[in-house]
Amino acid sequence: MIKVDNLSHSFYVGKKNNRQEVPVLRDINLEINEGEIVSVVGRSGSGKSTLLNLMSGYIKPTEGDLYIKGERVTDYKESQWADFRAEHLGFIFQSFQLIPSMSAYQNIELPLVMKGVAEKERKQMVDIMLERVGLSDYSDHYPSELSGGQQQRVSVARALIVNPPIILADEPTGSLDQETEKELLDFIQKLNKEENITFVIITHDEEVAEIANRTIRLEDGKLLADREVVGK
Ligand SMILES: Nc1ncnc2c1ncn2[C@@H]1O[C@H](COP(=O)(O)OP(=O)(O)OP(=O)(O)O)[C@@H](O)[C@H]1O
């Protein structure tokens, strides 16, 4: 599903005549199979977000290759990535990243608007999705009028609305209380089992790592361990 092939990434900081290389990921080889939940763990600064940003096309690797669903996406231009993301990838973030001036309904609808789906069809799809995440009664609420758990459900609904085969999540439970976290993790497991959605989840949280089939550990930009959880 996702193949990371000898991938390295450096950032360059400082002025032109004094540019310094900051190596962040080194020689990462990794394969994520369809239907897996993979957690990515490691200390702050170990390169987890950079790896996810590379898998999302927001940054280009300095070296190596990236394949998603069999396609070599390493050299994709931004417009190709935008289309590819709209079709194949959903995103969940710790900070939800909802648009504050849009209602729950409008936030969930947005990816469909961007995809050019007709209004009538959009309404049907968003109504079903609101129901699925238990927010039918909150459709007109703005993010500021929702609890953290409800906001995260809106962001999950927005990620799911285009039916992506892969969801990339960056600390999705980081802003949630224990109970809401459990709800989200149950929902992720359900989506994984029933719809075979592949999840890659960056986390500091042991509970999240526990629902994963595999845990990938980064240390100083290197892949330290790729642990399969037996029996999952
Ligand atoms: N745009 C950038 N320019 C320069 N350095 C960067 C940039 N983005 C990240 N870095 C550096 O790359 C390293 C890895 O950052 P990254 O955000 O991937 O780590 P992380 O494991 O996700 O950390 P955290 O758990 O704190 O989010 C850090 O040392 C960071 O300072």
For 105-114, what is each residue's pLDDT tens digit? Answer: 999 999 999 8
8 A C-beta contact, residue 144 and residue 102: no
What is the edge-to-edge ordering of all strands in the sheet holding 63-68? 20-32, 2-13, 63-68, 71-72
Distance 128 CA to ligand 1 centre (A): 38
How many other C-beta atoms can be found within 10 angstroms of the C-beta atom of residue 25? 25
Distance 24 CA to ligand 1 centre (A): 7
Distance 150 CA to ligand 1 centre (A): 29
**Residues 195-209: b if buried by 16+ CB within 10 A, e if exposed:** eebbbbbbbebeebb
Mean pLDDT of 70-94: 92
The pLDDT-based confidence of 193 (bands split at 50, 70, 90) is: very high
What is the edge-to-edge ordering of all strands in the sheet holding 198-202? 89-93, 166-170, 198-202, 37-41, 214-219, 222-228
Answer yes or no: is pLDDT of 48 > 80: yes
Distance 214 CA to ligand 1 centre (A): 23
What residue type is 111 in one-letter code? Answer: P
* pLDDT score of 94: 86
Q: What is the ipTM of this complex?
A: 0.95
- CATH number, residue 83: 3.40.50.300
- 42 close to ligand 1 (CB < 6 Angstrom): yes
The pLDDT-based confidence of 173 (bands split at 50, 70, 90) is: confident
Atom of ligand 1 nearest to the CA of 12: 4
8 A C-beta contact, residue 179 and residue 171: no
**Residues 27-40: b if buried by 16+ CB within 10 A, e if exposed:** ebebebeeebbbbb
8 A C-beta contact, residue 119 and residue 147: no
For the chain, the C-alpha Rg in angstroms (whole number) is 18
* pLDDT score of 180: 87
The pLDDT-based confidence of 22 (bands split at 50, 70, 90) is: very high
* pLDDT score of 175: 83
Distance 60 CA to ligand 1 centre (A): 15
Domain count, the chain: 1
Taking the C-alpha atoms of residue 15 and residue 79, their distance in angstroms, rounded to an integer, is: 29
- 24 close to ligand 1 (CB < 6 Angstrom): yes
* pLDDT score of 228: 56
Which two three-digit tokens encode residue 59?
Answer: 């940054």
Taking the C-alpha atoms of residue 84 and residue 81, their distance in angstroms, rounded to an integer, is: 5
Atom of ligand 1 nearest to the CA of 204: 25
8 A C-beta contact, residue 161 and residue 112: yes
Answer yes or no: is pLDDT of 231 > 50: no
Answer yes or no: is pLDDT of 139 > 90: yes
* pLDDT score of 17: 86
Atom of ligand 1 nearest to the CA of 46: 21
- 48 close to ligand 1 (CB < 6 Angstrom): yes
Answer yes or no: is pLDDT of 140 > 90: yes
Atom of ligand 1 nearest to the CA of 218: 21
Mutation choice for ligand 1 from 13, 15, 24, 56, CB with most ligand atoms inside 8 A: 24
Q: What is the dihedral of CA 84, 5, 170, 109, to 10 degrees?
A: 10
Mean pLDDT of 38-51: 93
For the ranges 27-36, 95-104, 157-166, 170-179, which has the lowest average pLDDT?
Answer: 170-179
Distance 9 CA to ligand 1 centre (A): 11
Q: Which domain holds residue 126?
A: 2-14+23-228
